[in-house]
Homo-oligomer: A and B are copies of this chain.
Amino acid sequence: MEPVDRRYGPGHARSMTTDIQIARAAHKLPITDIAAKLGLAEDNILRYGPDKAKISHQTLDGLASRPRGNLVLVTAINPTPAGEGKTTTTVGLGDALNRIGKRATVCIREASLGPNFGMKGGAAGGGHAQIVPMEEMNLHFTGDFHAITAAHNLLAAMIDNHIYWGNDLDIDTRRITWRRVMDMNDRALRDIVLGLGGVSNGFVRQTGFDITVASEVMAILCLSRDLDDLHARLGRIVVAYTRDRRPVTARDLKADGAMTVLLRDALQPNLVQTLENNPALVHGGPFANIAHGCNSVIATDAALRLSDYVVTEAGFGADLGAEKFLDIKCRLAGLSPAAAVLVATVRALKMNGGVAKDNLGTEDVDAVRRGCANLGRHIENLRSFGVPLVVAVNHFHGDTSAEIAALQDYCSRHGVTAILCQHWAKGGAGAEDLARHVVTLVEKGQADFHTLYPDSMPLWQKIETICTRIHRAAHVEALPGIRAQLETWEAEGYGHLPVCIAKTQYSFSTDPDLRGAPEGHVIPVREVRLNAGAGFVVAICGQIMTMPGLPRHPAAETIGLNDLGQIEGLF
């Protein structure tokens, strides 16, 4: 079955087979068989229907003494509307590693429910490199995000309830930073006034809702090592400040225990499978802007204890995604990647080289060469972390051999192998060359991973280090009050935290239209936020949307069940 390339319109379709049709035609194995591939018995997992399961806490506890396999990060050049195929490559590489005899597991993030009702939902991968069951993974799945919503909103309710009953903690109602969340695109909830209607409804104040994936609870779930760590992190969440500016935590409100209870099941990683019946752990889904954008530490760690190779990805391009993966997730979890795969496409490089989206169908070798500047910048950056890397050229129908040769030539001159991959059309078989190269890189043992900055560096200097060394800004500008705020947090004991940069993913700069490899730009830090529970400080450089809206014609209008009880319109 040859897939249709929905990524660039029906005119380019090679057949009428879409991602969802391929996913529906999958020959799924019972999830117990997938678990068996990881050496897990039926009582090691909690089944959710025939094709989904969670690995139980008890099983996870028993893995701690096992050695970890090799961790491979899949990252990409800066995203363009042309599409890069990071998840597709992650899945294809996982399948290919299994094909060449390695026990490999794929680890990716869960999808958010709400956005599926705005634009059409995302598959997990594409073509013949997908994870299934696609529909459930785009809907309620195993309920993790609902549990996060509930835990987040319980804390919010306990804040207003505390104030209602006398406000013993002296919370300043103007300085409550904890908002509410909902897994829905609902712009009307961004900015609300609550507590109206009289005495029995509490005190009036202004606040709002974010989408669930933007919740600090999501980031916490994804960075927690176990239930105890989860509990401790939840307790450290700063929700408000008192009249005299002291932070008020979830533990002060005694909400941390109940939140842990709500999240107990959700902390267990979800086991599903690729189209080629290899294990995939799909767990957690923090925003890649105001959070670190990686799947959970607990899933990655479990996969490493159960496999020779774990292939995982990080959100956005390597300047944001890989940096956060390495400086936040790997730092906090003690992970050390053995290799990195940098995904590029000819089409995306052409856009980076100045070609408009509508002209991508025309051969343009020079544009590829110009666009390679973006690729080269990411290669340099990844090398600076001490991680050996390979470039994966995710093949699209229409790429010409001259364009591919130009890309491979560029990489070769920069000392990196670029391997053409056809997993999208052929599944794991299309990524075997990539898999063999990754194994060679790993087995050479050349990885010498180190983070970009030490814990001990002052917060402002951390921001400057990331923005100048990774994003190549000439200068970082702090809006008024920012540096004083950072110093206050340092005085309060938060100075050791890593920094999470929130900026546009489309450019190294803060201008989304500035493709290629800009330098000499200024990055302004507009706002800083303390995520004391998750364990990082967010530096916001630009507009960040934490509650999306629905479009004029939401996908929801055409979503429904067909006569077979299948879901139509979701993809």
Residues of A at under 8 Å CB distance from B?
43, 46-50, 57, 113, 117, 139-140, 143, 146-147, 149-150, 153-154, 156-158, 160-161, 164-165, 180, 182-197, 200-202, 206, 208, 227, 231, 254-258, 260-262, 264-265, 549-550, 552, 554-561, 565, 567, 569-570
Contacts and interface: CB of A to CB of B under 8 A. Distances in A.
Nearest to A135: B261
Contacts of A154: 117, 184, 556
A184 B554 contact: no
Given A139-B261, A258-B117, A150 B185 contact: no
Nearest to A228: B561
A467 B110 CA distance: 52
A200 B46 CA distance: 43
Given A49-B46, A143-B143, A194-B192, A184 B201 contact: no
Contacts of A262: 139-140
A355 B89 CA distance: 73
Contacts of A565: 57, 227, 264
Given A157-B550, A559-B257, A561-B231, A191 B184 contact: no
Given A46-B48, A231-B560, 11 more contacts: A47-B49, A143-B143, A146-B146, A153-B182, A157-B185, A157-B188, A160-B188, A191-B194, A193-B193, A258-B559, A261-B560
Nearest to A205: B188
Contact of A261 (B160, B194, B567): B567
Given A161-B549, A196-B193, A265-B140, A184 B50 contact: no
Contacts of A139: 261-262, 265
A419 to B, nearest CB: 40
Nearest to A200: B187
Number of this chain's copies in the complex: 2
Given A184-B153, A556-B158, A569 B190 contact: no
Q: Which of A50, A182, A186 has the most CB of B within 10 A?
A: A186
Contacts of A188: 157, 160-161, 164, 194-195, 201-202
Q: Which of A195, A254, A554 has the most CB of B within 10 A?
A: A554
Contacts of A193: 192-193, 196
A49 B184 CA distance: 27
A509 B537 CA distance: 58
Contact of A561 (B191, B227, B255): B227
A197 B186 contact: no
Contacts of A180: 189
5 A-B pairs with the lowest CB-CB distances in the bound complex, closest first: A257-B560, A191-B197, A146-B146, A258-B556, A254-B557
Contact of A146 (B143, B158, B557): B143
B187 A191 contact: no
B153 A560 contact: no
A254 B558 CA distance: 8
B554 A158 contact: yes
6 contacts: A161-B554, A193-B196, A227-B565, A257-B560, A258-B559, A261-B560
B202 A187 contact: yes
Nearest to A550: B161
Contacts of A147: 140
A30 B289 CA distance: 44
Contacts of A150: 113, 140, 146, 183-184
